Structure 1
Amino acid sequence: MTIPTLNPDQRERDLEALASETLDILVIGGGVTGAGSALDAATRGLKVGIVEAQDWASGTSSRSSRLIHGGLRYLYNLDFALVAEALAERGRLLTTLAPHLVKAQPFLWPLKQRVIERAYSAVGVGLYDVLAVAGAGGRKTVPVQKHLSKAGAKEHFADVRDDALIGAIEFYDARVDDARFVVNLVRSAVRHGARAVSRTQVVGLLQDASGRVTGARVVDLESGREFEIAARAVINATGVWTETTQAYAKTDKGLKVLASKGIHIVVPRERIKARSGMFLRTEKSVLFIIPWRRYWVIGTTDTAWHEQLKHPVPTSADIDYVLDHANAVLSANLTREDIIGTYAGLRPLLQPVGSDEAKSAKVSREHTTLEAAPGLVVIAGGKYTTYRVMAADAVDLALGARAKQLPSITKEVPLLGADGYRAFARRADAIAEQYGWDADLVADLLDRYGSELPALLALVDEDPSLGRPLGASPWYLRADVAFACRYEGALHLEDILIQRIRLNSTTPDRGASAVDEVAEVAAPILGWDDERVETEKSNYRERAAAEVAAQSESTDAEASARRVEAEDVVPSAL
């Protein structure tokens, strides 16, 4: 089975091509918006390149609430267009674009008043349902709201406090493995002809005598080699680094972006007895209690962040805030000892000049796309869910008049693993029996790989040892590590443990106990010698220790300082 690959050999080929060809569009930034832009441009038949200074999805796009949602709370701000757009995209992802990666998820909205609150909440959730059906062309892609009594709510969520509700409304959104989704987007773009290289940092923009941007000067951080990439248009999709990147063009136009920190905690699945998630509004943001097969993700916060942008971290105060708000509705009474993981991300919010940063939760998530200089398109803001719309807007603007002749078609382009996924999923029992795996593990594999699962099974057939679960985490196979290195562009241990198998955010030691076994599988595939293996392992352990230490600090400044005590595996100027 031939599938699109991201690996060291592909990376070297694409580096050479980028240094010698003239692209139609160069995308800067390997998060969800940049990856989506690369796929959009590639499926229009354009010559496309995408560069990312770190690993794919290593910034905001791997640190979200892991939801695909319309944004129910935005209805209270009367952002009807934003919610309708997001719900339409949610429907496409669930049914056509990525049904293996995006899964419908029920949530409870707890009620405390018997008449008035239930009535206006029912209207709000009802409008949510109506917009979702309208956006899906009249089809129901998820069940509509259901009203529950207190007893009914406790049947769905046994560990809710008696005094936390008098009833509830059940509604649906969807969940996603955010980092894996982005890696899939990049690979899907490569499938359609895009050139893609990670660990390649833009250090300048090229401009002709008229001031038009004609490409970028980049550094391959793996080798230190500096070269130029020629392009007819450049899309800046660098999130919280937007202002830094657009400044290379020496233009007085552009976007101002506020970095707003959101943190999440992760607790074991068995710690909360419930079969539904929960959605709460707080005084500062919203709180989601989101069930996954093996754990719960709980968050988030929404506070301005003024420290280094590369490694945001939760503080002790952040963790206390989330625990306090969760325990206000949970009879389970979570403590710090229950937490098996934490993570923090920075939302790139468009910031009006002179606004109050303390109200960042009220800054609109709607995106803005503009031409900061001739040939340079800048896009920022928006929601993870609406990445495809943002990408189409950015490519349209980059193409100018040509956009009408080459319209976006990504509404109809399934991502890798989506084609044939539902039919292949019916073989789950046979796969479990053949390889000696339990049903939950096979379900996890199908959620990760969809109809690409045969490529992973082929690795196991070639080397049966890859069919064993990781000793430090039975949630993943050794084959997941091999697949990450052969096909998904992992170049370092941190790429595997953070973005591919997610142990960094779902185990108390942030995956440090898995380092030896993961390195054992990765080293021969990536061509590491003994010295490189020891460097990779040492670096990751230091990183994990710094992240654990940072979350004991009380302020952003102190936590950030503790985190950056650990050196990056690949230094950059970010």
Structure 2
Amino acid sequence: MSTSGTSSKLTPQSRERSLDVLRATAQGDPLDVLVIGGGVTGAGIALDAVTRGLTTSVVESQDWASGTSSRSSKLVHGGLRYLQMLDFHLVHEALTERDLLINTLAPHLVRPVSFLYPLEHRVWERGYVGAGVMLYDTLASLAPGKRALPFHKHVTRKGMERLFPDLRHDAAIGAVRYWDGSVDDARLVSTLIRTAASYGAGAASRTQVVELTKDASGRVDGAVLVDLETGDRFPVKARHVINATGVWTEETEALAGGTGGLRVLASKGVHIVVPRERIKGKVGLILQTEKSVLFVIPWSRYWVIGTTDTPWTQELQHPVATSADIDYVLAHANEVLADPLTRDDIIGTWAGLRPLLQPGTKEGTSSAKVSREHTVASPVPGLTVIAGGKLTTYRVMAEDAVDFALGEGAKARPSITAKVPLLGAVGLDVQQNWGRRHAATYGWTPALVDHLLHRYGSLLTDIVALCQEDPSMATPLEHAPAYLRAEIAYAVSHEGVLHLEDILLHRTRLNYEVADRGLAALEEISRIAAAGLGWDEETRLAEVAAYTARAEAEAAAEDQPDDASAEQVRLAAHDVSPLVDLPKSS
């Protein structure tokens, strides 16, 4: 299924075609826009640019969403904490984007989730928090279109015990219940990339920018790329280059030379995963800690608990959870849980780096401060840099970045992404109606059908087609029964998989949602991948060995006391597509 005449399939072949288009720009017409970075911001920029009628390609040095955009708290929210800072514009903007995603752009991917905000003081706190959440709801009501989520409610202690039986009875006298959205962040990114591809954007993962080139006037006019799968190095020309590399912002800026640009620091956030049955509760919790906000978030089969907020000064590619991080999250969760969690309850963890935008820009940079959260700047003519922001407002960030790059030309080509549903959104209600028939045909449970609709939306027809062609595809993986065999085959045939780790980390969540990081299912998954990608047995075994080493290194890192020692253990596992070393930023 495609939204235009261009296929939305991401395959090794489509990647090679995208690289060929990039190579051709060196002798022919330059691209209008080259996007560096395949996280949610870069993916959003690619979609924004191509739907304005601009020739566009996006490159990512590793897998799509391999950085921050697969390691978030997986929430689409307005930022309740920003009300404490009186930043009403930012909250309204985020709530507008939240409701747009739920109502129009990605109703299959973004779903409502409710939280309890426990109250410790009967009178003043209920009034204070209640007023804040009322303002939150009021700002959401100002968004155009129908309201996406219910209004908040005050909950008594008895009501709180009904909604979350495992909340300690002495932890709160009541609560305020409010609603936000949850999302599989990596799937949002891959869906954005596929949607952009369906409108004609080029997309090449495992493709690293190693140099930014300039014309005689000193304007950035393209880049030098390295295909990390083959080692091929080649130039590409573009009228506008947009840097959306998150915590790598300064490293990418440095490739253009000079000292201008944005300043970004990395802050580590850690989450733990525990089985759903381990905590009795129907809703989530939000708790204030001395360092950060702690969420207890219900997912389909488990709970996600996080996050931390600590400076990260190690290498940027492989942040890991340390023993101290895990103890911190457990300790704060256990302050309100009647049945305390232990390390034995944890089935997975992940660590991500937030790109924290620092005040001001480097000397010689022209910039437009767009919001408290993100900034767009131009350290060198022809190069646009965007940094900061959050997952919820990716579309606004993308619009701002493209507007800034085009300058006065943006008026003739305004953004239209507020009206462009992502793949899987159109026809979702039709496939929901067909879900019961598919369940009867293949023996799928209602929970499995819901899982498929959440992941694919109306693209469920593609999964069904695979099952019709090969009935064995309709059966669950033996050692990871939450996923069908067809989902692995589809990841290979449509979702841009190049390596086994792409499946385990980003197309599924097996790396952290089962206790063995998916190792028991590796044999079956690797054989499906090998059939789809044409791997010989030597390649398949090498892929299995590489992922196994990664999983074991991540597990060992969790036993280390600090970031430095955890990183040393983690880096013992070699990368399947090692990055080319770049000059250090100044």
Q: TM-score, normalised by structure 2?
A: 0.95
Cα-Cα RMSD: 1.2
Q: Which amino acid aligns with 2:90?
A: L
Which residue of structure 2 aligns with residue 381 of structure 1?
Answer: 388
2:159 and 2:391 map into 1 onto residues whose CA distance is 32
Shift of 1:353: 7.3
Q: CA deviation at 1:252?
A: 2.4
SS for the counterpart of 1:262 is: strand
Q: Is the 8 A contact 1:549 1:562 kept in 2?
A: yes
Aligned pair count reads 564
Q: 1:216-227 to 2 correspondence within 5 Å? A: 216-227=223-234
Residue of structure 2 aligned with 1:310, choices 301, 311, 317: 317
Q: Deviations over 1:170-191 (max 9, x none)?
A: 0000000000110000000001
In the alignment, structure 2 segments of 5+ residues that lack a partner are 362-370, 582-586
SS in 1 for 2:142: helix
| 1:285 alignment counterpart | 292
Selected match of 2:570 from 563, 567, 573? 563
C-alpha distance 365-269 of structure 1, shift in aligned 2 (>3 A)? farther
Partner amino acid for 1:148? V
Letter in 2 for 1:117: E
Match of 1:520 among 509, 520, 527: 527
Residue deviations 1:273-297, cap 9 Å, x none?
1110111111101001000111110
- The superposition leaves residues 442-471 of structure 1 with CA deviations (integer Å, 9 ceiling, x where unpaired) of 100000000011111111111111111111
CA distance in 2, matches of 1:542, 1:136: 49
Q: Does 1:458 align with 2:465?
A: yes
Map of 1:394-473 to 2, 5 A cutoff? 394-473=401-480
Residues 128-277 of structure 1 correspond to what in structure 2 (within 5 A)?
128-137=136-145, 139-277=146-284
The TM-score normalised by the length of structure 1 is 0.97
- In 1, Cα distance between the equivalents of 2:512 and 2:214? 41
Contact 1:365 1:383 in 2 (8 A): no
Q: Which amino acid counterpart does residue 401 of structure 1 have in structure 2?
A: E
Verify: 1:38 aligned to 2:46, yes or no.
Answer: yes
> Partner of 2:359: helix, strand, or coil?
coil
What is the one-letter code of the residue matched to 1:155? R
Could you say what secondary structure the match of 1:35 adopts?
helix
Deviation at 1:424, TM superposition (A): 1.7
Displacement of 1:332 in angstroms is 2.3
Mean CA deviation greater in 403-412 or 419-428: 419-428
Q: Does 1:301 align with 2:308?
A: yes
DSSP 3-state at the match of 1:347: strand
| Deviation readout 1:322-359 (Å, 9 max, x if unpaired) | 001001111121110000000000000112379xxxxx
1:345 matched to 2:313: no
Number of the residue aligned with 1:82: 90
| In 2: Cα distance, 1:426 partner to 1:327 partner | 42
Q: Match of 2:478, as an amino acid?
A: G
Distance in 2 (alpha carbons) for counterparts of 1:571 and 1:374 = 30
Q: 2:503, 2:65 → 1: CA distance? A: 12
Q: CA-to-partner distance for each residue in 1:96-144, whole Å, 9 max, x for gaps?
A: 000000001110000000000000101100000000110234x321000
Q: Distance in 1 between matches of 2:122 and 2:429?
A: 42
Q: Letter of the 1:98 partner, please give it.
A: A
CA distance in 1, matches of 2:446, 2:103: 23
1:136 and 1:129 map into 2 onto residues whose CA distance is: 14
Contact 2:34 2:56 in 1 (8 A): yes
What is the rounded CA distance, in whole Å, between the counterparts of 1:20 and 1:217 in structure 2? 13
Among 102, 105, 109, which residue is 2:113 paired with? 105
User: What's the offset of the Cα at 1:417?
Assistant: 0.1
Q: How far has the Cα of 1:515 moved from its partner?
A: 1.0
- Name the SS of the counterpart of 1:348 in structure 2: strand
Kindly provide the amino acid, as one letter, of the partner of residue 65 in structure 2: A
For 1:483-562, list aligned pairs within 5 A.
Answer: 483-562=490-569
State the alpha-carbon separation in 2 of the partners of residues 573 and 328 from structure 1: 45
3-state SS of paired residue (2:210) = strand
SS in 2 for 1:162: coil
Query: What is the rounded CA distance, in whole Å, between the counterparts of 1:196 and 1:509 in structure 2?
Result: 32
Contact residue 420 and residue 451 of structure 1 kept, 8 A = yes
**One-letter amino acid matched to 2:266:** A
The offset of 1:423, in angstroms, is 2.6
**What SS does the aligned partner of 1:256 have?**
strand
Q: Is structure 2 residue 24 aligned with structure 1 residue 20?
A: yes
AA in 2 matched with 1:115: V
8 Å contact kept, 2:212–2:220? yes
Offset, 1:572: 1.1
Q: Deviations over 1:21-51 (max 9, x none)?
A: 3200000000000000000001001000000
- 1:94 alignment counterpart: 102
Give, in whole Å, the separation in 2 of the partners of 1:215 and 1:20: 12
CA distance in 1, matches of 2:552, 2:57: 36
SS at match of 1:135: coil
Task: Give the secondary-structure state (helix, strand or coil) at the position aligned to 1:218.
Answer: strand
What one-letter code is carried by the residue in structure 1 that aligns with 2:562?
A: T
- Measured in 2, the distance between the counterparts of 1:66 and 1:332 equals 25
Query: What amino acid is the match of 1:326?
Result: A
Determine if contact 1:349/1:365 at 8 Å carries over to the other structure: no
Distance (Å, rounded) in 1 between the aligned partners of 2:85 and 2:477: 46
1:11 aligns with 2:18: no
Could you say what secondary structure the match of 1:196 adopts? Answer: strand
Cα deviation, residue 73, structure 1: 1.0
Query: Cα deviations across residues 515-571 of structure 1 (Å, max 9, x unaligned)?
Result: 111011000111101110010000000000000000110100011111000000111
Q: What SS is found at the alignment partner of 2:408?
A: helix
Partner of residue 584, structure 2: none
> Does the residue aligned with 2:405 lie in a helix, a strand or coil?
helix
C-alpha distance in structure 2 between counterparts of 1:539 and 1:399, whole Å: 43
1:382 aligned partner, one-letter code: G
For 2:274 and 2:580, locate their aligned partners in 1 and report how far apart those are by CA, in whole Å. 34
| SS of the residue 1:110 aligns to | strand
Does structure 2 retain, via aligned residues, the 8 Å contact 1:281–1:287?
yes
- What stretches of structure 1 move > 4 A for 4+ residues in a row? none
Paired with 2:485 and 2:88, the residues of 1 have a C-alpha distance of 46
Residues 330 and 448 of structure 1: CA distance in aligned 2, closer, same or farther (over 3 Å): same
1: CA distance, partners of 2:360 / 2:411: 34
1:290-323 deviations in Å (ceiling 9; x for gaps): 0011111000001110001000001000000000
Distance, in Å, in 2 between the alignment partners of 1:306 and 1:195 is 34
- Decide which of 117, 124, 133 is 1:125's aligned counterpart: 133
Instruction: Tell me, in whole angstroms, the C-alpha distance in 1 between the residues paired with 2:520 and 2:560.
Output: 24
| Matched-pair contact (CA < 8 Å) for 2:72–2:352 | yes
Tell me what 2:365 maps to: none
Determine if contact 2:262/2:360 at 8 Å carries over to the other structure.
Answer: no
CA distance in structure 2 between the aligned counterparts of 1:275 and 1:140, rounded to whole angstroms: 23
Decide whether the 8 Å contact of 2:194 with 2:423 is kept in 1. Answer: yes
2:400 match: secondary structure: helix
